[in-house]
């Protein structure tokens, strides 16, 4: 009788792991490279991250700071916009150092002018609405209008359709905005109903103009288009806002440090948001960028409650939660990591 044979010793590494580690396998990676360096984010996800961190979060402080500057020294909205335009004019030095034309190449100047006009109109309407109605509500209506406008333009102009998850995220973010703003619209004070309605109309017009500006910027195609677009904003906005400020509003020279601090902070934060949002639409669809920019509403709501001590209703909290959930859905849909080696091979094959 033969003694029982010993159980086979498992080999290491397993055969499945060896198959995955072959040079031709997608999971293979060069030796000596850290795991987190094997992959990189897709272009669409990079654009959404830029829109979220650089576009939405800084812009969330603009509306409360505008309200604080107006309450402290009664600074008109066009004066704040004029100060912001001065920050944009500083890009003339950047363009001169790169020996680029200040207003871009000749064939693209008409489209660049339309982009600057749309952004100036959007910002002017937004700053005026921040003073007329609560800042969080104005930002909510503006972002909702920009998202709907971008979605409609995407249906008409985009060659690559959005996925079902993207549309679900868009509808969810729009639903969150409606949850926040509809109860406030239904409970307007009859004595100020006309002024409030005008403020909300300005916010809606500003959102539509913002969506149009992002789509136009996505269509621009020439070197250094980002600093050129920033300079064009200031070059068009400054000569328009200066006379309009004296004709339509009463200019004020701030005498308090708080007013100057808020005005300078508005110009710098808005410039950062402008640059990041414009760069984001070159990587991701404008409709998704506008949906991610809804994070501005959540930041504005937090600043409104903790800094301005303005009331926040349960509907505001519920709508903010829906917006954050929708942004998470859009981010999860576009969160794809591509191996660097595969992308290099694809670029070589396309080349």
**Model confidence band, residue 157 (pLDDT cutoffs 50, 70, 90):** low
Domain of 132 in residue numbering reads as 44-338
How many whole angstroms from its chain centre is CA 337?
22
* 3-class DSSP assignment, residue 162: coil
Cis preceding linkage at 13, omega within 30: yes
CB 273 within 8 A of CB 91: no
- Distance CA(48)–CA(333), nearest Å, equals 11
Pick from 62-66, 113-117, 294-298 the range whose average pLDDT is largest.
Answer: 113-117
119 or 9, which is more confident: 119
How far apart (Å, rounded) are the C-alpha atoms in residues 254 and 262?
Answer: 11
**77 in a structural domain:** yes
Judged against a pLDDT cut of 60, whether residue 339 lies above it is answered with no
Res. 89 pLDDT band, cuts 50 70 90: very high
In total, the chain counts a number of residues equal to 351
Maximum distance among all alpha carbons in the chain? Answer: 111
Domain-located, residue 30: no
User: How does DSSP assign 15-81, residue by residue?
Assistant: HHHHHHTSTTSTT---TT--GGGSEEE-HHHHHHHIIIIIIIHHHTTHHHHHHHHHHHH---HHHHH
Least confident piece of the model among 97-111, 226-240, 263-277: 97-111
Mean pLDDT for all residues in the chain: 79
pLDDT band at 312 (very low <50, low <70, confident <90, very high): confident
Backbone angles phi, psi at 68, to 5 degrees: -65, -40
246-305 residue pLDDT tens: 888 888 887 788 888 999 999 999 999 999 999 998 888 887 888 788 788 888 888 888
Question: Do the Cβ atoms of 200 and 123 come closer than 8 Å?
Answer: no
The count of domains in the chain is: 1
Report yes or no on 108 lying in a domain.
yes
Phi-psi region for residue 218, left (φ > 0), alpha (ψ -120 to 50) or beta?
A: alpha
Residue 10 lies in a domain: no
Residue 133 lies in a domain: yes
Considering the domain boundaries, does residue 326 fall inside one? yes
Tell me, what DSSP letter sits at residue 296? Answer: H
> Which spans in 133-163 are helix H?
135-157
User: Using CA atoms, how far apart are residues 148 and 207, in angstroms rounded to an integer?
Assistant: 9
Q: H or E element: which one contains 216?
A: helix 193-219
pTM exceeds 0.85 for this model = no
Q: Which residues contact 66 (CB under 8 A, 6 or more apart)?
A: 77, 80, 127, 130, 131, 135, 262, 266
- 336 versus 130: the higher-pLDDT residue is 130
Residue 310 has pLDDT above 50, yes or no: yes
Residue 4 maps to a domain: no
* Residue with the larger pLDDT of the pair 85 and 147: 85
**Selection from 172, 158, 208, 212 nearest residue 44 by Cα:** 158
């Amino acid at each position: 009788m033969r003694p029982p044979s010993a159980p086979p010793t498992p080999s290491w590494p397993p055969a499945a792991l060896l198959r995955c580690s072959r040079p031709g396998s997608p999971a293979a990676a060069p030796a000596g490279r850290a795991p987190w360096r094997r992959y990189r984010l897709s272009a669409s996800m990079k654009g959404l991250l830029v829109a979220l961190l650089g576009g939405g979060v800084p812009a969330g402080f603009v509306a409360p700071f505008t309200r604080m500057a107006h309450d402290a020294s009664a600074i008109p909205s066009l004066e704040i916009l004029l100060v912001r335009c001065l920050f944009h004019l500083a890009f003339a030095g950047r363009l001169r150092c790169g020996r680029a034309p200040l207003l871009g190449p000749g064939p693209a100047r008409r489209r660049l002018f339309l982009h600057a006009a749309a952004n100036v109109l959007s910002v002017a309407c937004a700053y005026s609405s921040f003073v007329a109605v609560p800042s969080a509500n104005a930002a909510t209506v503006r972002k909702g209008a920009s998202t709907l406008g971008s979605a409609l333009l995407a249906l008409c102009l985009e060659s690559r359709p959005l996925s079902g998850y993207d549309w679900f995220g868009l509808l969810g973010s729009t639903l969150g905005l409606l949850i926040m703003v509809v109860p406030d619209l239904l409970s307007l004070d009859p004595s100020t109903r006309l002024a409030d309605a005008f403020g909300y109309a300005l916010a809606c017009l500003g959102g539509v103009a913002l969506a149009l500006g992002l789509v136009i910027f996505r269509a621009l195609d020439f070197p250094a288009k980002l600093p050129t677009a920033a300079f064009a904003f200031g070059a068009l906005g400054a000569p328009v806002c200066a006379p309009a400020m004296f004709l339509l509003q009463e200019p004020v020279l701030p005498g308090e440090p708080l007013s100057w601090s808020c005005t300078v902070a508005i110009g710098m934060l808005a410039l950062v948001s402008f640059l990041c949002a414009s760069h984001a639409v070159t990587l991701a669809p404008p409709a998704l960028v506008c949906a991610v920019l809804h994070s501005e509403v959540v930041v504005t709501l937090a600043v409104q409650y903790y800094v301005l001590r303005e009331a926040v209703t349960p509907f505001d909290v519920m709508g903010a939660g829906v917006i954050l959930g929708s942004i998470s859905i859009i981010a999860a849909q576009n969160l794809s990591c591509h191996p660097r080696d595969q992308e290099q091979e694809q670029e070589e094959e396309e080349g």
